[in-house]
Amino acid sequence: MPETGKFAFIIHPLTLADISRKFPLLRILPQSASRLVLRLYGARKTSDITGVRSRTGQELEGMFIGCPLTSEMLLHGDIAANTRTIVECGRVAEAHGAKIVGLGAYTSVVGDAGVTIAKQLDIAVTTGNSYTVGTAIEGSLRACALLGKDRASLHAGVLGATGAIGKACSRILARDVERLVLIGRDTERLEAVAADLDGRAEVSISTDAPVVLPELDLVLTVTSALTTVVEPEDIKRGAVICDVARPRDVSREVADSRPDVLVIEGGVVSVPGDVEFGLDFGFPPKTAYACMAETMILALEGRYEDYSLGRDLSVEKVREITALAEKHGFELAGLRSFERAIDEAAIERVKALSGAR
């Protein structure tokens, strides 16, 4: 049984409003001043994580490291400066005894998606994206099966297909579905992804999401947009939409006005043991994002090596981490939609309203 060491996972506020709940003074400051205060607050450990227990009997401890950057700052700020800040977070993890650190949310998309960061740290680094892909595909196909959809005849799409997660999802789906549409903003990059696919699907590309989304039975949406990109009028009746993005790609209005579609959250995982995270990130007890779970799984395996870095994830690593997750007792935490569990009644309602009976 491999020796386990501590893991760390970097988190950050999505918006300045998230920080103002902890520091009310920021509500009255201009945004430029709030950003400066946030940076001065610096990288630091925010909580301990205890109680992770593999079905093999191994136990694991870890920690959250707070990164003083919002989503907007990470996406549109200076890449070199942001990289230095994330590296600082990694060094805080090192100082607290972590042997591997996961890059959470938008820290995983800065620059070259973790490659440069890993070179500057003495501990292993992962984005967690491989297990995110695995759980997104698993949840999507499970939801389709519950609605009576045969994967071999699915017309599917990946919104954000040129990103690391989008490309890997496309590679897997191309082997299973009938038709696959790669959706993004850059035609040249979409064509490059399409040329790299090997499977049975009829593959096409589109830069006009509102035109093609209403044609699709299944959509995985994995963009890095800061605002919603999928609205109620964009979705086909009876469709499954797997929203992997945070902030969400799918408008909450969909839940209110489209009971004939099934929106699921991608990458929500049950963590084995009696885990305590030490902070509330909006999930039910004992559940976590798949990217967090990947960091834990690698630590349980004693795999203190860089994993899921860069913008070209391999299908082999997706399969490997999914198998390791099963070994240790991590599993998809059911199907959820906008913070609520999807029950049988919701499935039957979608079937009835979409004429799928």
pLDDT of residue 135: 96
Same domain, yes or no: 64 and 163: no
Q: Are residues 202 and 143 in the same domain?
A: yes
- Domain shared by 208 and 280, yes or no: no
Handedness of CA 146, 147, 152, 154 (dihedral sign): negative
Q: What is the average per-residue pLDDT within 202-208?
A: 97
Both 215 and 117 in one domain: the answer is no
- Please indicate, yes or no, if residue 58 is contained in any of the structural domains: yes
Terminal-to-terminal C-alpha distance of the chain: 49
Residue 224 banded pLDDT, cuts 50, 70, 90:
confident
Residue 158 belongs to a domain: yes
Which whole number is the average pLDDT over 193-200?
A: 95
Residue 354: pLDDT band (50, 70, 90) is: confident
- How many degrees, rounded to 5, is the angle at CA 338 between CA 312 and CA 45? 65
Check whether 277 has a pLDDT greater than 80.
yes
Is position 145 within any domain? Answer: yes
Query: From the CB of residue 303, how many other CB atoms can be counted at a distance below 10 Å?
Result: 18
What pLDDT does residue 331 have? 95
pLDDT band at 268 (very low <50, low <70, confident <90, very high): confident
> What domain range includes position 16?
6-128+270-310+319-329
Q: Is residue 302 located within the same domain as residue 238?
A: no
Residues 34 and 64 in one domain: yes
Separation between Cα atoms, residue 184 and residue 113, nearest integer Å: 19
- Measured in whole angstroms, how far is the alpha carbon of residue 4 from the centre of its chain? 25
1 within domain boundaries: no
The number of domains in the chain is 2
Residue with tokens 């954000």: 160
> Are 283 and 298 found together in one domain?
yes
141-189 pLDDT per residue, tens: 999 999 999 999 999 999 999 999 999 999 999 999 999 999 999 999 9
Are 153 and 48 in a shared domain?
A: no
Query: Residue 343 class from Cβ within 10 Å (0-12 exposed, 13-18 middle, 19+ buried)?
Result: exposed
Task: For tokens 């890059």, name the residue.
Answer: 103
**Which CATH number belongs to the domain containing residue 159 in this structure?**
3.40.50.720
Decide if 243 is inside a domain: yes
Tokens for 229?
């990109």
Residue 217: is its pLDDT beyond 80? yes
Tell me if 286 is assigned to some domain.
yes
> At residue 323, what is the residue type?
A
Partners of 155 in the beta sheet? 179
User: Which pLDDT does position 25 carry in this prediction?
Assistant: 55
d(CA 56, CA 290): 20
Same domain, 138 and 241: yes
What does the pLDDT read at residue 23?
Answer: 57
The string of pLDDT tens digits covering residues 22-52 is: 555 556 656 666 666 666 678 999 999 999 9
Residues 98 and 202 in one domain: no
Selection from 104, 123, 127, 128 nearest residue 114 by Cα? 127
Q: Is residue 17 assigned to a domain?
A: yes
Under a CB-based contact definition with an 8 Å cutoff, are residues 279 and 47 in contact?
yes
Q: What is the pLDDT of residue 225?
A: 87
Asked whether residue 205 is domain-assigned, the answer is yes
- pLDDT score, position 19: 62
Residue 247: asked if its preceding bond is cis (omega within 30°), the reply is yes
Confidence of residue 284 (pLDDT cuts 50, 70, 90): confident
Q: For residue 24, what pLDDT is reported?
A: 59
Work out whether the CA dihedral 326, 328, 334, 337 comes out positive or negative.
negative
Confidence grade of residue 222 (pLDDT, cut at 50, 70, 90): very high
Q: What is the mean pLDDT of residues 263-270?
A: 90
Q: Examine the domain organization and report whether 148 and 254 are in the same domain.
A: yes
Query: What is the reported pLDDT for 267?
Result: 78
Q: Rounded to the nearest 10 degrees, what angle do helices 315-328 and 129-146 cross at?
A: 80
For the chain, percent of residues with pLDDT exceeding 70: 91
pLDDT given for residue 18 in this prediction: 62
**Do 18 and 108 share a domain, yes or no?**
yes
User: What is the rounded radius of gyration, in angstroms, for the C-alpha atoms of the chain?
Assistant: 20
Containing 273, the helix (H) or strand (E) segment is strand 273-276
Backbone angles phi, psi at 218, to 5 degrees: -140, 130
Q: What is the pLDDT of residue 177?
A: 97
Q: What's the confidence (pLDDT) of residue 29?
A: 58
Average pLDDT value for residue range 292-312:
97
- Region label for 45, one of left (φ > 0), alpha (ψ between -120 and 50) or beta (otherwise): beta
pLDDT at residue 271 is higher than 90: yes
Would you state the pLDDT for residue 281?
Answer: 78
Give the pLDDT score at 88: 97
Who has greater pLDDT, 73 or 98? 98
- Token readout for 158 is 């990946």
Question: What average pLDDT is seen over the chain?
Answer: 92
